[in-house]
Amino acid sequence: MLMSRWITPGITILTCSVAVMSFAVLTSCSVDVDDENGFVVESGNTETPSTSDVGFGHGRDVLRLHSGLYDVAYVRFRIDELSIGRQDRIQVWMKTDICIGCKMVAVANLTIKTKEKKMVATIDTAWATRIMVTTGDVHYPAKNNTYCELYYHFGQYGEYNLTVPPMTRNNTNGTICDLETLKSPTYANTSVFVFYGSVFLMFFVAAFWVHCIKRCNNKGLPSNHNGNVQSNVSLEDQTPLTDPVGNKPTKTSLRLRSVDAFRGLAITNLVLGTSGDGHFWYLSHARWYGITVADFMFPWFVFIMGTSIHLSFNILLSKGQSYLSIFKKIIFRSISLFIMGVCIQPHNDLRTLRIPGVLQRFGITYFIVASSYLLSRRLQARRIERTGKCYMMFRDVTDYLELPLAFCFLTVHLCLTFLLPVPGCPLGYQGPGGPLVGENGELTNCTGGASGYIDRMFFTEAHIINIDTCSAVYRTIVKSDPEGILGSFTSIALCVFGLQAGKILHLFTTVRGRCLRLIIWGLVLISCSLILCKASMADGWIPLNKNLWSVSFIALTGGTAFIIQALFHILIDVTHFWNGAPLFYAGMNSILLYIGSEIMHPYLPFSWVPFVGNHTEYIILAAWSGFLWLAIAYLCYRKKIFLKL
């Protein structure tokens, strides 16, 4: 018995450390410093490039999308007297693909006499880049002033010679610049595959192991001893939680492991995100449009909060707690979440304190969804019970106030987004704004459209933050908070979806009934989202947008959450194939992990200043901090320490 208690975490921790170490050895941690082709690669990242470095400087890509020596290629511009006159100057313009709808940006002026080193541009390789070389005196590239242009997706650490051909005055189609690859790029994604590959492998090995041990134990022992730490809550082999007629819970102490494990998945990835996530563009947040892996975690968390509301309130109500005392709990919890959120910021200047935020959004969402749920339970308690067949099929939808409420919030969100006039901006604008978008910078002050405008009016610019992922690309000037007011409306709807999942898991007695409903909800929401965004980055009616929490964004994240919840439910609660470790431990202490990682991430041992600053080092850093927090979560679980608000 004692052995088997330790075996799951033991194996997990062991395989985790072995994986991390072998991973560190496998992908050695160095940037090639290559002088063969005359490219001088300086290591170490300069946080603020000196003015002489701006433009073609090393250590940061030309468009200043990110600092650090990852995702960069080196491109040397070659011009000679044949192409331009001895005295002439050329201008180099660039635009990255991720800057959607942006103008070209002038990045350098070159002449034949420009120093060799200054001819080498450090170019970002996460996305394709458009390069144009024009005469020196133009305000914007056009057909008649362009020597050549090139649209190319450079590869990480590749080295290229880009030769400017002579200007052909009567060439109307534009010339393609000559590009020669001197050193082939390295494949950038190895470390991601190695990392996630080993994580998944580890999970499966551990799950199989535990599965085998459980079977062996079961053979020798009476069937009610299955050697697990937890008393297994199974919806199958125990009396149903509700009697088949009404909604009155007949059994207390329900804590679905799958819900905790799912929460653990979200929180672990949030922790990984806090520590940099390897600085891969698809693991870090989306720049403005679109969605990346990191963008799913926070919405999933809101979703699971909804699921837990249903499950925990049922426990409280069945313990005979009064509605008033539960309402007091709701108020206390919302306010403490809000205050926590305001207080864990790394600065204390009341003049520029950020008011909205992640925990603040949790607080507001929780307050509204939980109190409306409580109200509908209160109203339900007075109603006579119904037993019609049709009613029984749909009783998770018909009996409650929250779904109409979510609908109202979504409608208000849509109305404000599309109908609120923002001074100087087109009606219904949902783009990033900034000087690069639009013909003459007329969208400069439109960042975030209505959502940004409301936040700037309500909180004033001093009390919200700039979204740095977006402002680096679009060079935005005005702020638009990623956790703004309008986004809370959709967040409430998302939480209600989660609540719906909780009701489904609780009210229906057959596995098929539960999983089918979860999957149908998931597929419907995902389809809605794909229709709304026309399955594209920025061309849809409502593009996916993490910073605005657009309707398509919450539909997609909510839909995937339903599917994952169904999957986890089958794997964990029904078949007991996996007991949810180690995610389960993290899920039991999610607030502790979130607050802890927010506060501690700049400190040792949770992170360090990168030595090399490449993807491999960043992903080791993230894996290390994820591992530490999982270990902390496990220890807290063993010692029964839970941070509850």
Ligand X SMILES: *[C@@H]1O[C@H](CO)[C@@H](O)[C@H](O)[C@H]1NC(C)=O
- Rule CB under 6 A: say whether 438 interacts with ligand X: no
Q: Two tokens at 339? A: 């205050």
Q: Is 413 a catalytic residue?
A: no
Q: Which is nearer to ligand X, 109 or 321 (CB)?
A: 109
On the CB side of 83, how many CA atoms lie within 13 Å of its CA? 23
Q: Which of 4, 46, 161, 509 binds ligand X (CB under 6 A)?
A: 161
Q: Which of 325, 527, 490 is nearest to 405 (CA)?
A: 490
> One of 285, 310, 463, 615 is an active-site residue; which one?
285
| Residue 71 phi, psi (nearest 5) | 55, 40
Query: Residue written as tokens 């969402």?
Result: 365
The single-letter code of the amino acid at 212 is C
Q: Does 80 bind ligand X (CB under 6 A)?
A: no
User: For residue 301, which of 355, 363, 362, 364 has the smallest C-alpha distance?
Assistant: 362
By CB under 6 A, residue 476 contacts ligand X? no
Residue 322 near ligand X by CB under 6 A: no
Q: What is the DSSP letter of 221?
A: S
Our finding on whether 421 is near ligand X (CB under 6 A) is no
Indicate which single residue of 75, 98, 99, 108 sits in contact with ligand X (rule: CB under 6 A). 108
Give, for 300, the enclosing helix (H) or strand (E). helix 293-318
Which residue lies nearer to ligand X by CB, 10 or 424?
A: 424
- Pick from 332, 334, 358, 362: which is nearest to 345 by CA? 358
Closer CB to ligand X, 55 or 543, in the complex = 55
Q: What gap in Å lies between CA 303 and CA 322, rounded to an integer?
A: 26
DSSP state of 505: H
Among the listed residues 178, 180, 243, 539, the single contact to ligand X using CB under 6 A: 180
> Is 134 one of the binding residues for ligand X (CB under 6 A)?
no
Q: Which of 30, 109, 387, 510 binds ligand X (CB under 6 A)?
A: 109
Site for ligand X contains 122 (CB under 6 A): no
Q: Which CB, 118 or 534, lies closer to ligand X?
A: 118
Interacting span for ligand X (CB under 6 A) from 3-11, 105-113, 264-272, 397-405: 105-113
- Name which of 107 and 561 has its Cβ closer to ligand X: 107
* Residues counted in the chain: 645
* 3-state helix, strand and coil shares in percent for the chain, rounded to the nearest 5: 50, 10, 40
Q: Listing from the earlier edge strand, what are the strands of the sheet with 105-111? A: 105-111, 89-96, 129-135, 146-152
Among the listed residues 29, 106, 233, 563, the single contact to ligand X using CB under 6 A: 106
Site string for ligand X, 378-417 (x = CB under 6 A): ----------------------------------------
Residue 445 contacts ligand X per CB under 6 A: yes
Q: Is 179 in the site for ligand X (CB under 6 A)?
A: no
User: Total number of residues binding ligand X (CB under 6 A)?
Assistant: 18
First and final CA of the chain: distance in angstroms?
Answer: 34
Strand partners, 78: 163
- Whether residue 249 has a cis bond before it, omega within 30° of 0: no
Of 250-258, 316-324, 351-359, 442-450, the segment contacting ligand X by CB under 6 A is 442-450
Distance, CA of 445 to CA of 477 (rounded, Å): 7
Contact 359, 344 (CB under 8 A): yes
Chain CA centroid to CA 284, Å: 6
Question: If you search the block for the tokens 């492998």, which residue do you land on?
Answer: 201
- 506 forms part of the interface with ligand X (CB under 6 A): no
Task: Collect all residues with Cβ–Cβ distance below 8 Å to 630 and sequence separation of at least 6.
Answer: 16, 268, 582, 585, 586
Task: Find the binder of ligand X among 20, 65, 72, 107 (CB under 6 A).
Answer: 107
Distance CA 165, CA 159 (A): 19
78 belongs to the binding site for ligand X (CB under 6 A): yes
Nearest of 632, 641, 638, 623 to residue 198 by alpha carbon: 623
Nearest approach in angstroms of CB 124 to ligand X is 17
**Beta pairing, strands 72-78 & 159-163:** parallel
- Bridge pairing between strands 120-124 and 72-78: antiparallel
CB 537, min distance to ligand X, A: 25
Choose the binding region for ligand X from 215-223, 255-263, 438-446, 636-644 (rule: CB under 6 A).
438-446
Cα–Cα distance, 38 to 587 (Å, whole number): 52
Minimum distance of ligand X from residue 164's CB (angstroms): 11
182 belongs to the binding site for ligand X (CB under 6 A): yes
Q: Is 426 in the site for ligand X (CB under 6 A)?
A: no
In the complex, least distance from residue 431 CB atom to ligand X, rounded to whole angstroms: 14
For position 138 contacting ligand X by CB under 6 A, the verdict is no
With contact defined as beta carbons under 8 Å apart, do 426 and 420 qualify?
A: no
Closest distance to ligand X from the beta carbon of 53 (Å) = 12
- Lay out the site mask for ligand X across 258-287 (x = CB under 6 A, - = otherwise): ------------------------------
Stretch that binds ligand X, among 107-115, 377-385, 532-540, 579-587 (CB under 6 A): 107-115
Element (H, E) at 105: strand 105-111
State which residue, 247 or 480, has the beta carbon closest to ligand X. Answer: 480
For residue 76, state whether it binds ligand X (rule: CB under 6 A): yes
Q: Is 64 in the site for ligand X (CB under 6 A)?
A: no
* By CB under 6 A, residue 170 contacts ligand X: yes
Q: Identity (one letter) of the amino acid at 47?
A: E
Of the listed pieces 93-101, 270-278, 365-373, 441-449, which binds ligand X according to CB under 6 A?
A: 441-449
Distance of CA 410 to the CA centre of its chain: 22
- Report the candidate in 611, 619, 624 with the shortest Cα–Cα distance to residue 194: 619
Query: Which of 247, 444, 488, 590 contacts ligand X by CB under 6 A?
Result: 444
Using the minimum distance from each CB to ligand X, give the nearer residue, 182 or 530.
182
Cβ neighbours, 10 Å, residue 472: 17
CA–CA dist 238, 395 (Å, integer): 22
Helix (H, G, I), strand (E, B) or coil at 216: helix
Task: Map residues 33-62 to x or -, x wherever contact with ligand X holds by CB under 6 A.
Answer: ----------------------x-------
* Nearest distance from C-beta of residue 440 to ligand X, angstroms: 8
- For residue 449, the minimal CB distance to ligand X (Å) is 14
Q: Which stretch binds ligand X (CB under 6 A): 304-312, 439-447, 510-518, 585-593?
A: 439-447
Give, as ranges, the residues between 533 and 592 that touch ligand X (CB under 6 A). Answer: none
Smallest distance, Å, CB 122 to ligand X? 14
Minimum Å gap between C-beta 172 and ligand X is 10
Token pair of 177 as six digits:
């610049």
Q: Which residues are catalytic?
A: 285
Q: What residues make contact with ligand X under the rule CB under 6 A?
A: 55, 76, 78, 91, 106-109, 161, 168, 170, 180, 182, 424, 441-442, 444-445
